């Protein structure tokens, strides 16, 4: 299984959990997300959510981050470089 595929599965699992939770709570999931503050950059953002990081920590909790889209892009770029170094050094 490729890392991309694993990420996809993790994303879809998370999505299913969210939907199940929202349905259970009687919430309309088509509601736009409320603006909130990104815990990463402390800026107001409309896309703060839990995201699967480009990491492979044994502790699964560390592979998730709650942040806005911008922070997530930075996080992804950072780890893409780390992965490139990792594979380049073998
Ligand atoms: Zn942010």
Q: Give the pLDDT of residue 68.
A: 92
Structural domain that includes position 20: 1-31
Give yes or no: residues 13 and 45 share one domain: no
Kindly give the distance from the C-alpha atom of residue 89 to the centroid of ligand 1, in angstroms, as a whole number.
31
Angle formed at CA 2 by CA 53 and CA 48, multiple of 5 degrees: 20
CA of 71 to the centre of ligand 1 (A): 4
pLDDT value at position 89? 83
- Residue 31: its pLDDT value, please? 47
Q: Judge if 75 and 52 occupy the same domain.
A: yes
Q: pTM score > 0.75 for this model?
A: no
How far away, in angstroms, is 75 Cα from ligand 1 center?
10
- The pair phi, psi for residue 53, each rounded to 5°, is -80, 165
Q: Phi/psi of residue 9, each to 5°?
A: -65, -45
- Nearest partner of 63 among 10, 2, 9, 16, judged by Cα: 10
26 and 39 part of one domain? no
What pLDDT is recorded for position 82?
Answer: 93
Counting as low any pLDDT under 50, the low residues of the chain are: 19, 21-22, 27-32
Residues 72-88: tens digit of each pLDDT? 999 999 999 999 999 99
Residues 54 and 73 in one domain: yes
Cα-to-centroid distance, 54 and ligand 1 (Å):
16
In our burial notation (b when 16+ CB lie closer than 10 A, e otherwise), range 59-88 reads eeeebebebbeebbeebeeeeeeeeeeeee
Domains: count for the chain: 2
Q: 1 CA to middle of ligand 1, Å?
A: 30
The confidence score (pLDDT) of residue 29 equals: 46
């Amino acid at each position: 299984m490729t890392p991309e595929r694993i990420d996809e599965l993790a994303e879809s699992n998370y999505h299913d959990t969210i939907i199940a939770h929202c349905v259970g709570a009687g919430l309309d999931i088509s509601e736009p997300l409320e603006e909130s503050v990104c815990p990463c950059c402390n800026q107001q953002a409309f896309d703060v959510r839990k995201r699967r990081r480009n990491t492979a920590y044994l502790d699964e909790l560390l592979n998730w981050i709650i942040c806005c889209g911008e922070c997530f892009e930075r996080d992804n770029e950072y780890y893409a470089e780390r992965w490139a170094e990792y594979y380049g050094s073998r």
